[in-house]
């Protein structure tokens, strides 16, 4: 599940705070709600519908829904299965053609059609393709004193000899992103000199924050015209096929929810249960089939906790 209890970026905090203030203004002006505990998912849903009818964009409504989820789930007033999901609300706007301009393209198609831009930012793009990093994990930004981003202190060598990048992803969780084997030689030539033994990696967020103080990022910010999501998809597709060559064993235990009737107020209730998934069993996400174990390992490499998120990278047409 997504982490709604932590915000690790200063810019994200400021954005969520501004959106929370806008939501509070709506509640004061158009409802009788005056207490935090009176805010229900139905009330928030109505707020999003008001924005829909007022002509707000898909990205604005989606960002408002995320802010409200942080506010209500993060405070413990809603359960995670009560979160707002914009895409499940009838009549909500879709992201514009301009916003999706690059999304239908594959990595190779984008590089072919944007040869000049690719040449200008080849190093950054190829690192994303090699390690599957998010934009803010690739380049130095406003958090962690501008020292975050792949650099001299965040590369390590795994026991199998491959380079891995340690990052702090969404929710403040540390992860290792292992290089794709088909790009390993190129990454080794360019950045292998900075790799340290995996035993030197941070064991927790406190150690990571200390380590990052001495980091020298390889890249600063770069053009937002470069769609890093496409190149993360490139990584996901290639890394999945690589991982599926392994012979997995064991199980993963995941939490699921089933309907449990209605409560005294007529609202749908859900009860959690645990499901055991055989890592050897074949599964399909998007256009790709692989062992469960390969999907779970790819998800860890990409900084996600749920397999369904992988559909954004493995969907048909990628």
CA 292/CA 311 separation, integer angstroms: 14
CA 303/CA 168 separation, integer angstroms: 9
CA 172/CA 195 separation, integer angstroms: 23
CA 110/CA 261 separation, integer angstroms: 49
Quick one: pLDDT band at residue 140, thresholds 50, 70, 90?
low
CA 167/CA 134 separation, integer angstroms: 10
Residue 225: phi and psi, rounded to 5, are -70, -15
Weakest-pLDDT range from 11-15, 109-113, 276-280: 11-15
- Cβ neighbourhood burial of 69 (10 Å; 0-12, 13-18, 19+): buried
* pLDDT digits 0-9 by tens, 50-105: 888 777 777 788 889 999 999 999 888 999 889 898 877 777 776 544 344 444 67
pTM for the structure as a whole: 0.67
CA 44/CA 123 separation, integer angstroms: 43
CA 192/CA 118 separation, integer angstroms: 23
- Give the model's pLDDT for residue 317: 45
* pLDDT digits 0-9 by tens, 148-207: 789 999 999 999 999 999 998 766 788 999 999 999 999 999 999 999 999 999 999 899
Higher pLDDT, 228 or 140: 228
Q: Is residue 205 a contact partner of residue 171, using CB atoms and an 8 Å limit?
A: no
Q: Is residue 254 a contact partner of residue 274, using CB atoms and an 8 Å limit?
A: yes
CA 291/CA 283 separation, integer angstroms: 6
Strand-pairing partners, residue 276, are: 253
Q: Which helix (H) or strand (E) holds 167?
A: strand 163-168
Q: Which of 81, 61, 191 is nearest to 133 (CA)?
A: 191
Highest mean pLDDT: which of 28-37, 62-71, 150-159, 308-317?
150-159
Does the structure show a pLDDT above 60 at 147?
A: yes
Weakest-pLDDT range from 1-15, 19-33, 186-200: 1-15
From residue 26, how far is each of 16, 21, 38, 47 by CA, in Å? 15, 9, 14, 8
Q: Which of 246, 226, 262 is nearest to 295 (CA)?
A: 246
Q: Is residue 33 a contact partner of residue 49, using CB atoms and an 8 Å limit?
A: no
Q: Which of 239, 231, 224 is nearest to 288 (CA)?
A: 239
Q: Is 159 helix (H, G, I), strand (E, B) or coil?
A: coil
CA 132/CA 231 separation, integer angstroms: 7
How confident is the prediction for the chain on average, in pLDDT?
A: 86
The residue extents of the domains of the chain are: 10-88, 107-224, 241-314
- Give the model's pLDDT for residue 223: 82
Strand-pairing partners, residue 166, are: 176
* pLDDT digits 0-9 by tens, 275-287: 899 999 999 988 8
């Amino acid at each position: 599940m997504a982490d709604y209890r932590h915000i690790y970026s200063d810019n994200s905090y400021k954005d969520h705070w501004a959106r929370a203030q806008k939501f509070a203004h709506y509640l004061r002006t158009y409802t009788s709600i005056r207490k935090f505990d009176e805010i229900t998912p139905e009330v928030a849903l109505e707020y999003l519908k008001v924005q829909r009818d007022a002509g707000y964009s898909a990205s604005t409504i989606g960002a408002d829904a995320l802010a409200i989820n942080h506010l209500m789930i993060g405070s413990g007033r809603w359960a995670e299965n009560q979160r707002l999901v914009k895409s499940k609300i009838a009549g909500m706007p879709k992201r514009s053609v301009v916003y999706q301009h690059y999304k239908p393209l594959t990595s190779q198609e984008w590089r072919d059609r944007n040869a000049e831009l690719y040449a200008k930012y080849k190093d950054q793009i190829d690192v994303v393709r090699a390690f599957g990093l998010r934009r803010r994990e690739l380049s130095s930004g406003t958090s962690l004193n501008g020292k975050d981003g792949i650099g001299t202190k965040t590369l390590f060598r795994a026991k199998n000899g491959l380079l891995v990048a340690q990052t702090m992803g969404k929710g403040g969780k540390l992860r290792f992103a292992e290089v794709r084997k088909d790009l390993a030689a190129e990454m080794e030539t360019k950045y292998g000199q900075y790799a340290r033994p995996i035993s030197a990696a941070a064991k927790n967020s406190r150690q990571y924050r200390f380590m990052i103080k001495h980091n020298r990022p390889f890249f600063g910010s770069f053009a937002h015209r470069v769609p890093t999501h496409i190149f993360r998809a490139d990584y996901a597709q290639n890394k999945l096929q690589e991982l599926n060559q392994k012979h997995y064993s064991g199980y993963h235990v995941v939490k699921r929810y089933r309907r449990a009737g209605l409560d005294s107020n007529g609202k749908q209730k859900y009860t959690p249960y645990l499901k055991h998934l055989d890592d050897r069993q074949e599964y399909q996400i998007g256009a790709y089939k692989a062992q469960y174990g390969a999907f779970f390992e790819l998800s860890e490499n990409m900084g996600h906790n749920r397999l369904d998120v992988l559909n954004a990278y493995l969907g048909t047409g990628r």
